[in-house]
Structure 1
Amino acid sequence: MNWDSISRRLISLGEKPLTARDRGLSAALLRLLGGEVPPPFAVRRFLPLPTLSYAPEDLHTGAPGERDFGPHVDQTNYSVVVAEKVVVKWLTPPVPLPHPTPEIFGHLVEAGFNDTAPPYAALTRTVDGGEELLALVTGYLPEARDGWEWCVDQAEAGRTDFARELGRLTADLHLALATWPAPQAVTRDGGTGGPMARAGAALREALDATDGEDGAWLATRAPALLRELSPLAEPITSPLIRIHGDLHVGQILQWRDGYAVIDFDGNPTVTDAEPYQPAARDVAQLTTSLEHVAQVAIRRRDVPPAKAASWAAEARAAVLAAYSARLAAKDRADLLDVRLIRPFEVEQECRELIYAARHLPRWRYAPMGVLRTWYPEENIS
């Protein structure tokens, strides 16, 4: 394929998303990314692409082998693995720029953060006077599994050794992102109306969206939840940094050589989220996701609830200890205000309930299981 044939397919992406029938397009694109890209397309390069090898079965195509991740992988976009070395993530549909991922890729490379899939390039095009992101090109991580698989295994086995590495990785990510200067216009709202207004609105929506026995139970805990949110009414004094924005265990891959954080697209369920927020928000989403892992282990692996709750508490404590120790070792303990973790955790559980009501009703068991663990019958006053 040359640029003429590739460009015709790329121009049609908005109306006709990429599928398995487009075999060869991703590999052909990679061959051409090393040279000049004709308009209306453009490429932003971050790291040099690796050399792509050819398997015997690919000789007739003239391109390295391609495969997708298969139907078992639940993903919004369409990703193609080329030569077991590179992943081309096609945005379906293309999204308008600015988009957070290319910006974050460039900064992480500059900051020397390596605990992610190597970012190679972003392909864009000009259309109707604006720019769209068509594809992101990153390294392939062999034997990778996301946290909804490997971390559930850990919960079932009662192991928490991994948590120290997650805390270190998260701290290093925040240390890298903290070197990104915030624009002058950034506010300390963290979203429309300030942190307390935003969290309070999430609580009210969660109460309205949760029906039946769960809704009745949640209503009895509403005063306690509101009290947990109260620190957000105080001025936020910790630094505002560019956060990941959707940091849960599903975004952390366990692969052949360790752990890697991925997916810097931001939180798809919170449209008004300010990208510059306290680090505690990312930390809180990560710790609540460990609680969700425990609920998954209870439901899918028959782990006793008391054992799962104990595992989640131990893993959470280990993540926070390692995270704090890493910040302290780098003289940046100021990045984390521990007072904000619990209110952000409560807000996150409200948002999980909202997400379940809007998009995935069967998920409601997880945030409800966490909240029932946090607020047992004897602790509702």
Structure 2
Amino acid sequence: MNSIISGDATVDGVRPVVGGRVLSVGDDGAVLVDGRRAAAGDGLARALARAVAGPEIGEDASERAITVDQTNVSVIVDERLMVKIVGRWSAADRSALLLDRLAAAGTEGVERLVGSVGWRHPDLGTSTLAIVTDYLPGADDGWTWAVADVVAVLDGGPEPEWPALLGARVARIHDVLGATATSSGAAAPAARLTRADDALARALASADPADGATGARLHNRRASLARDIRSLEGTAPGLEFPIHGDLHLGQVLAAPDGHGRREYTVIDFDGDPQLSADDRERSDAAARDVAHLLVSLDLVAAVAQRRLGRADDRAFAWADRARGAFLEAYRGGLTRPELFDEALVRGFCAEQLAAELHYADRFLPVWRYAPDAAITYRHSPTDDHPETPWTPPPSAPTSS
């Protein structure tokens, strides 16, 4: 039987049945469907969409998987709704809460929450099972559309306006989510420094300085990266609140608006997938979102050079201009400027570059070239290790 409670969009029990599928939670916290990871076509996403949207979603509505690898499982239902089914217990609680707050404030340019489905588990408590949002037909993420725009600029095309638009949009998101901001506390500067130091140490430990390439370039720039990271030590505690947490251009969808222009939508408020569940839930400084977005502009510049098949300094010149436009619009858009401590940006950017490279080393080696390019461009080297100039690889780009 279908265990969704009518009018409540909640399932109950240890092994509830939804859409003819048995749900369970593994010992490691994984949410399982008939003992396996959820998948498009098993009927679960359709049943969850019907629980939220009602009979306008037919019993035979189509299900289609999206092609981006994610922590959760996202399924397009009836070409109208996006159903995100959690991969692990409590993985979407944060996202559901933040999207609800943004919707209540009438925030434009973020994914529209249609509803969510909860799960009341007798042993684990209550958590979000799925989030249902509007599906945006024809949308691409920034690893596609932003890269294409940069390639066009390098071919003599117009300067894109979206860096400023995104600056204003992120400012609005922060104004809404920062309405209940609190002091980060006296221990915050030391904690930030420790986290960033650890990120750099992990990146250095997994990079061979004798390889003449990525490892050598990183180790030759460790002093510059460490210097930026040390700037966090002298910063003020400042304010913190639930930020986006994983803000990069891959989290910005561009879809045609029907009038020859694009609509940009910020998605995925689940937090940084590289952090533990507890750490993802913690509040943080607005500057971290800003730094992550700035770093992603550099990564897009690297991918654009790969698309061109050559190193081209003009790509990073574009990134410099885009960073400036984003920051100017962000500062001007904040109605609560006290939320943003710009002194944190330099250290957070260095930390994020190190984290990107370590992520690539562990999970996605074909992505190493992008943070390698950004580190090489942004940080001055020593001559401790022989190194070759950065050049883009011939393999297809893969985003983080």
User: TM-score normalised by the shorter chain: which range applies?
Assistant: 0.7 to 0.9
Question: What is the CA distance between 1:309 and its match in structure 2?
Answer: 1.0
Which one of the candidate residues 10, 13, 21 is aligned to 1:9? 21
Question: What is the CA distance between 1:317 and its match in structure 2?
Answer: 0.8
CA shift in 2, pair 1:190/1:120, >3 Å: farther
Which one of the candidate residues 182, 189, 207 is aligned to 2:204? 207
Aligned to 2:97: 103
CA shift in 2, pair 1:198/1:301, >3 Å: same
Question: What is the CA distance between 1:241 and its match in structure 2?
Answer: 2.1
Q: What's the C-alpha RMSD, in Å, of the aligned pairs?
A: 2.7
Aligned to 1:153: 148
Aligned to 2:302: 295
Question: What is the CA distance between 1:63 and its match in structure 2?
Answer: 3.1
**Equivalent position SS for 1:125:** strand
Equivalent residue runs for 1:306-345 within 5 Å:
306-327=313-334, 330=335, 332-345=336-349
**Equivalent position SS for 1:96:** coil
Aligned to 1:36: none
CA distance in 2, matches of 1:2, 1:200: 50
Equivalent residue runs for 1:345-360 within 5 Å:
345-360=349-364
Equivalent residue runs for 1:1-381 within 5 Å:
2-3=2-3, 6=18, 8-12=20-24, 14=32, 15-23=35-43, 25-33=44-52, 49=53, 52=56, 62-69=59-66, 72-92=67-87, 94-96=88-90, 99-130=93-124, 131-158=126-153, 159-182=159-182, 187=185, 189=187, 194-211=191-208, 212-213=211-212, 214-257=214-257, 258-271=263-276, 272=279, 275-302=282-309, 304-327=311-334, 330=335, 332-376=336-380
Q: Show CA shifts across 1:93-118 (max 9, x none).
A: x4237831122122212222232121
**Equivalent position SS for 1:194:** helix
CA distance in 1, matches of 2:81, 2:236: 41
CA shift in 2, pair 1:374/1:76, >3 Å: same
CA distance in 2, matches of 1:356, 1:241: 28
CA distance in 2, matches of 1:8, 1:370: 49
CA shift in 2, pair 1:222/1:27, >3 Å: closer
CA distance in 1, matches of 2:353, 2:267: 22
Counterpart of 1:9, as a letter, is R
CA distance in 2, matches of 1:89, 1:205: 31
CA distance in 2, matches of 1:53, 1:31: 6
CA distance in 1, matches of 2:54, 2:311: 46
**Contact 2:247–2:289 (Cα < 8 Å) also in 1:** yes
Instruction: Provide the TM-score with structure 1 as the length reference.
Output: 0.83
Question: What is the CA distance between 1:209 and its match in structure 2?
Answer: 1.3
**Equivalent position SS for 1:242:** coil
**Contact 1:231–1:343 (Cα < 8 Å) also in 2:** yes
Counterpart of 2:202, as a letter, is E
**Equivalent position SS for 1:19:** coil
CA distance in 2, matches of 1:259, 1:21: 29
Percent identity between the two aligned chains: 36
**Unmatched runs of 5 consecutive residues or more in structure 2:** 5-16, 25-30, 154-158, 258-262, 385-400
Question: What is the CA distance between 1:132 and its match in structure 2?
Answer: 4.1
CA shift in 2, pair 1:279/1:89, >3 Å: same
CA distance in 2, matches of 1:73, 1:7: 25
CA shift in 2, pair 1:231/1:274, >3 Å: farther
CA distance in 2, matches of 1:29, 1:218: 46
Instruction: Provide the TM-score with structure 2 as the length reference.
Output: 0.79
**Contact 2:142–2:254 (Cα < 8 Å) also in 1:** yes
**Unmatched runs of 5 consecutive residues or more in structure 1:** 34-48, 55-61
Question: What is the CA distance between 1:189 and its match in structure 2?
Answer: 4.8
Counterpart of 1:73, as a letter, is V
